[in-house]
Amino acid sequence: MSERTPSFKDVFIKGAVIYNPVLIQLVGLCPVVAASTTLKGAVMLSAAMCAELIVTCVIASALLKKIPRWIRVALYLLIGLALICPALWYIETQTLVNLSLGMKIYLPLIAINSVTAVHCEQVAVKNNVKLAFYDAAAVSIGASAVFILVGILRELLGSSSLGGIHLDLPIAFKGMLLPFGCLVILGFLAAGLKAFLAWAYPETENESDPVERQRKTPSAEENVTEVELFDEFWNVSEEPEEVSMDVSIPEPEPEKEKKPEDIRLETAADIDEFFKSLGIDLNEKGDKR
Amino acid sequence: MKFISDLLMTALYTVFIQNLVLSSGLGMSEAIRVSTRPGTFGKFAVMISGFSVITSAVCSLIDNVPAVENATYAVRAAIYGGVLAAVYLVQAVFMRFVLKADSKLLGTLGIAALNTLVLAIPYINNSAAYSFAGSIGSGIGAGIAFVLAAALISQGSRILAENDEIPEIFKGTPAMFLYVAMLSLAFAGFTDTNLFA
């Protein structure tokens, strides 16, 4: 097996498309549902999330590996606030940009977004800085694409405008500006992505879908007492320094009894193996690269 | 008496009229995840209410400090986030070292404390100019609203899972999104929102 760091393309396809954080992993819903009502708002949220996620993941990978998880999750919030608050302060006091009240509230909430905690715990603290950066960048792009697409559709359908320019469309359905409208759009986007994955990556069909997986493995609920809730909750693999527990994620690999601390995503095969440890087998997909 | 009535009115408003999960999307990712584990609803309700109440109460007191009254949203964000992180860490340290809580409980604690719903409550209290009693009421309401949303999503997801008439491509996450959209629309009805321009 050749030892190579997976290319950004490898990580991108999995982080942004196959496991799109919003449409597949169902994380980071708050900013898109509540605040992506215009293209401008969606771009601002995307920029804030990209910066926050990348910096936090890189710091987590470089500095926070030895800190217990229950402390780390609070540090992610503080790191995020340390990035976002000065930027928000600068925009509020030093520029003429007039932020809406919603944006003033929802921008800081990016600091506590579930995308950050999940990807810092899933990838960053278990891998080198380069791979943490790749993963954070891929996930940011995947989430931003959804934010911006949703922002465009909601502004077009809800306000008959785009980028603040009125387009005089015959339909203006104000309901699209409500969370209801966003969730309908997300439902259709998720179906579209599912159709694309079924066509391009048939091996992943339903396996990357947490709702479908839960439906097919109803016994998972009974196992919740055997695993750390954070791991099970967000499908994060076990933390190295925590007390060892039997993770009841399906598809164990009997021939490779790797300890959690041995899991390093430094090769393409390691990436596949990592996702296998989450109960998802993407080997055939990896072969298409 | 006014304290109690303010508290109850705000809690009821937060749960039923302004359900923050379904009508604002706050904590929605966590609610959907929790919905698959009905056995944890009570634990999450207590924890989220607890963190929301303590954070709301502390932030409400800080909001009355003259230096903070006219602070920018950036400064408020730093204060509210710092308070939440401090409340969480104090609670986690207490549970870890005094109550000898296991890592599973600490994991639950982290999910319940560090989410957008809990951090948003102080902003909502501030923008709605809630009194101290109202702030506590909205904190309690946040936890109940979260569990109400999770229970409704949980019930719906079971029905969706048994429905074979759903097109294959919409099964799973897409159907879940559309179902939550309907719930969100139902709660929007309570707020007298006009769907059409």
Chain A from 248 to 287: CB within 8 A of any B CB: none
Q: Residue B167 burial (CB < 10 Å; 0-12/13-18/19+)?
A: exposed
Contact A247, A227 (CB under 8 A): yes
Tokens of B130: 């809630």
DSSP notation for B81-139: HHHHHHHHHHHHHIIIIIS---HHHHHHHHHHHSSHHHHHHHHHHHHTT--HHHHHHHH
In the block, tokens 């991108």 appear at A12
- Is A26 within 8 Å of B32 when comparing Cβ atoms? yes
Interface check for B71 against chain A (CB to CB < 8 A): the answer is no
Every domain of chain B and the residues it spans: 2-190
Tell me which residues of chain B, numbers 33 to 62, contact chain A at a CB-CB cutoff of 8 Å.
Answer: 33-34, 36-40
pLDDT at A63 over 50: yes
A179 with B23: Cβ contact below 8 A: yes
pLDDT tens digits, residue range B82-97?
A: 999 999 999 999 999 9
Contact A154, A182 (CB under 8 A): yes
Average pLDDT over residues A8-22: 89
Determine which helix (DSSP H) or strand (DSSP E) holds A13, and give its type and residue range.
Answer: none
pLDDT value at position B24? 84
Contact yes or no for A228/A245 (Cβ under 8 A): yes
The sign of the CA dihedral B133, B136, B142, B148 is: negative
> Are A173 and B24 inside 8 Å of each other by CB?
no
Q: What is the pLDDT of residues B54-84, one digit of tens each?
A: 999 999 899 888 888 888 889 999 999 999 9
Cα separation values, B3 from B12, B49, B130, B144, Å: 14, 18, 12, 20
List phi, psi (to 5°) of A217. Answer: -125, 70
A121 pLDDT above the threshold of 70: yes
The ipTM assigned to this model is 0.90
**CA proximity to A269, closest of A227, B84, A277:** A277
For chain A, which residues make up each domain, given as ranges? 8-204, 210-287
The pLDDT tens digits for A261-288 are 444 555 556 556 555 555 555 554 444 4
A98 touches chain B (CB under 8 A): no
DSSP class of residue A67 equals S
Q: Does B189 touch chain A (CB under 8 A)?
A: no
Contact residues, chain B, for A167 at CB < 8 Å:
none
Question: Is the torsion defined by CA of B146, B14, A24, A14 positive or negative?
Answer: negative
**Per-residue pLDDT reduced to its tens digit, A162-216:** 888 888 787 778 888 899 999 999 999 999 999 999 898 887 765 666 666 665 5
Specify the residue for token string 């391009």. Answer: A200
Predicted pLDDT of residue A227? 37
Task: Provide the 10 A C-beta neighbour count for residue A112.
Answer: 26
Where chain B has pLDDT below 70, the residues are 197
Model-level pTM greater than 0.95? no
3-state helix, strand, coil in chain B (%, to 5): 80, 0, 20
The pLDDT mean for chain A works out to: 77
